[in-house]
Each structure stands twice: as structure tokens, then as C-alpha cells.
Structure 1
């Protein structure tokens, strides 16, 4: 068995599992697969991957992108997510500037948004 062929689980800390479940299931449309005995919420992702939301105290989130979905049509995905209430981040930094929520660098186009706990999420295309 090789790790290169094994499905992965991405784990994100959340402070309020009810609020997180609503965001990931209803706003993002991820299929909720249940919770485990420790209260962790499980969501299905493409390729057999799993998103695990871990109940944690505030302040455990990373300021960096925690998760990114590769999409076929970035503008359409942004519009769909905005229609569900997602607010995209805009940046005007020396090395990262967004136009209409999208930054382009080295052939990758990406847009970022936050979950209710401040975890940085992204949609991107090449």
C-alpha cells in the first residue's frame, strides 16, 4: 500500500459544531456522513476523501489556506457560493492582489473565503 493512493482526511478545528455543520452541509453543499463518538463531524469529499471537523477551542485555526477545491469554472463557482451567502476575501498585498475576488499567479487562479470559525478555504483552477 502506498500513501500516494490512499484517500485522505482533512481535519479542521471548529468551535461550534452545529454552526459548522450548517455551513459545510447547507452553505457549501457537502454531504454530511455523521459524527463519531468524540463529536467530530464527517463530510464526504471527492476521490474518497473525508473532511473531519474537530470540536476545539477558539484560536486553533490556521491563518493559511486549510483546504482548496479544484473547480472547472471558477467564476461560476464563486457566483454559486455567493448566492448561498459565502463572502469572499479580497486582497491587495504586494505579492497577492484579487480582482473580482480572484488572484492569478503562475497559471493558477484562486479565490478565498472563511468558514464561520475563520478557517481559510479556497476554490481554484489551473
Structure 2
């Protein structure tokens, strides 16, 4: 059976599950679907929902924040509105020197559309993209 038959969930390592909870639940507003242990850490992991199903497995780990790459992307209908809501919740939009950003921190996406980036407290990077 091919892997395409199964749901896919991104796993995100964080250094402090409490700080991660404040970000993912408090600032991004993601619902907790499940919480439990992570390795030897009681209550060190969360599964968050997005788009109607499980989307992110967030767990405490010493490897947190070790990649500069974008780890997951939300595809949204109204990027301006989402960025405004996140900024109002205290989320910083990441700006990269190699891109031209508008006042909100949004940049044209290669091939059309637009993109913005955010980071969690460990520097894990997420993209927000729209086709318009």
C-alpha cells in the first residue's frame, strides 16, 4: 500500500513545551487534539489540529530549532487577514534580506501568489501561502 494512502503530520521539536504551548495554542490558536509524554518528559508532547485533522506533532527535544528550513506551510485564502490576526496576537512576521516584502512582511512567491513566514520560540519556521 503506498504512503499516499495515509495522512501525513509534521513533527516539530521544541526546547520548552510550555513556551511552545503558549505559542501554538495562545498565539496561533491551534486546538490540542492529544497530549502526552515525549521521550522521558511527562506531558512533553502535543498533537495540534488544523484543516479538520491532526496536523502538527509538537514535542520537547534537545534537537529543537536546529534547521533553518521551512518545516510546514499553511495554505490560506486571505493572507493579509491571517497575517494581521497573527501580528495582533503577538506573532512576528519574519523578513529575509534576499526578498522584497510589503508593509505586512509578505513577499511575492515564485511562480505566483504570495508568502509570509513565522517562527516559533525555537526558531522553527512556518510559511503562510496564498495563490492571490
Q: TM-score, normalised by structure 1?
A: 0.88
Question: Which structure 2 segments of 5+ residues have no match?
Answer: 39-43
Query: Offset of 1:48 from its aligned partner?
Result: 2.4
Aligned twin of 2:32: 32
CA RMSD of aligned residues (A): 1.7
Matched, 1:113 2:115: no
> Alignment partner of 1:37: what SS?
strand
Question: Which structure 1 segments of 5+ residues have no match?
Answer: none
> Alignment partner of 2:93: what SS?
coil
Deviations 1:42-87 (A, max 9, x none): 1112252331112112654310111110000011110010010011
C-alpha change, 1:56 and 1:23, in structure 2 (3 Å) is same
Aligned residues: 124
Question: Which of the numbers 65, 74, 78 marks the counterpart of 1:73?
Answer: 78
Matches within 5 A, 1:31-50: 31-38=31-38, 39-50=44-55
Deviations 1:7-53 (A, max 9, x none): 11110110000110111011001001232232221111225233111
Q: TM-score, normalised by structure 2?
A: 0.84
Instruction: Please give the alpha-carbon distance, in whole angstroms, between the structure 2 residues aligned to 1:60 and 1:109.
Output: 25
Whether the aligned pair in 1 keeps the contact of 2:33 and 2:54 (CA below 8 Å) is no
> Alignment partner of 2:10: what SS?
strand
Instruction: Please give the alpha-carbon distance, in whole angstroms, between the structure 1 residues aligned to 2:120 and 2:36.
Output: 21
